[in-house]
Amino acid sequence: MELRRHIEESVHFITERTRIVPQIGIILGTGLGKLVDEVEIDRVIPYEEIPHFPISTVETHKGNLILGTLSEKPVVVMQGRFHYYEGYTLQQVTFPVRVMKGLGVKVLIVSNAAGGLNRNMRRGDLMVITDHINLLGDNPLRGPNDPELGPRFPDMSQVYDPELRELALQIGLEHGIYLHQGVYVALPGPSLETPAEYRFLIRIGADAVGMSTVPEVIVAKHAGLRVFGISCITDLAIEGVVAPLSFEEVVQAANEAQPKLTLIIRELVRRMSL
Ligand code: HPA
């Protein structure tokens, strides 16, 4: 299958340029790139150099694949991700997850900036993702399935690893960082939600809304990876609180929350058993 050949070519290109065999893959969301400062870097590869990788178009996302160690564990970090709203197909958006799996990754950690739909939330809070709702109107697994990559109908009854969630909550407790837990809903964007849409999302059981993560997580699950997801609440979408929102505000709030997020991920990586 062509997809498998593309994955193999990308994996080959990367393994020739690093001695790192990553066990953990990390995707850094909007305004959340600082974790890279904690990585002992072996190699930085710009996305545009990697065969078959799409090229990032959002300015706030640096497009680099970083190989190194974090908390003494070998990691591969995506500094910047690909979004559906940029015009990529979901197969393109999730291609790097396939490559991560090909490199040796067992656990995928995903982060994102999201709007808070839960009344207990404040701007700058973090939410451990317990489950998701896919409202993208598309699925990265649509089309022919390659059984070598995963099953036709992958189970989604428990996508977000309970052990990793528990570990994160424990780390939060120890460091005085409150972590919400909740459901992340993905919309295609790029327009933000209307008040009626926010009310709808709250009613269907979502706690945070964003434009990413779900495609990568579906493919990770398809590929048999364990998944941990965390949202940075950059704005509040609660009735009576909804205010005009700019992308700059989203980035600023994510930037401010970065130290907390960095600590959680760094410690999670340190303590997780592989
Ligand atoms: N809606 C959708 N995506 C987002 C939001 C939001 O309110 N905040 C950050 N990403």
CATH topology of domain 2-271: Rossmann fold (3.40.50)
Residues with CB under 6 A from ligand 1: 113-115, 192-193, 209-211, 234-235, 237, 250
Rg (the chain; Cα; Å): 17
Question: Could you tell me the two tokens for 26?
Answer: 């990390």
- Fill in the DSSP letter of residue 160: B
Distances (CA, A) of 97 to 21, 54, 258: 15, 12, 23
- Fill in the DSSP letter of residue 149: T
Centre of ligand 1 to C-alpha 243, Å, is 12
| Nearest CA residue ID for atom 7, ligand 1 | 115
Length of the chain: 274
pLDDT by residue for the chain (274 residues), tens digit each? 799 999 999 999 999 999 999 999 999 987 788 899 999 999 999 999 999 998 656 554 568 999 999 999 999 999 989 999 999 999 999 999 999 999 999 999 999 999 999 999 999 999 999 999 999 999 999 999 999 999 999 999 999 999 999 999 999 999 999 999 999 999 999 998 999 999 999 999 999 999 999 999 999 999 999 999 999 999 888 665 566 677 888 888 888 889 999 999 999 999 999 8
pLDDT tens digits for range 82-114: 999 999 999 999 999 999 999 999 999 999 999
The ranges assigned to domains in the chain are 2-271
For residue 131, which amino acid is it?
D
Centre of ligand 1 to C-alpha 270, Å, is 30
Is the pTM for the entire model greater than 0.85?
yes
Exposed/middle/buried for residue 99 (C-beta within 10 Å: 0-12, 13-18, 19+): buried
Question: Could you tell me the two tokens for 41?
Answer: 């870097």
Helix 162-175 and helix 247-271: axis angle, to 10°?
100
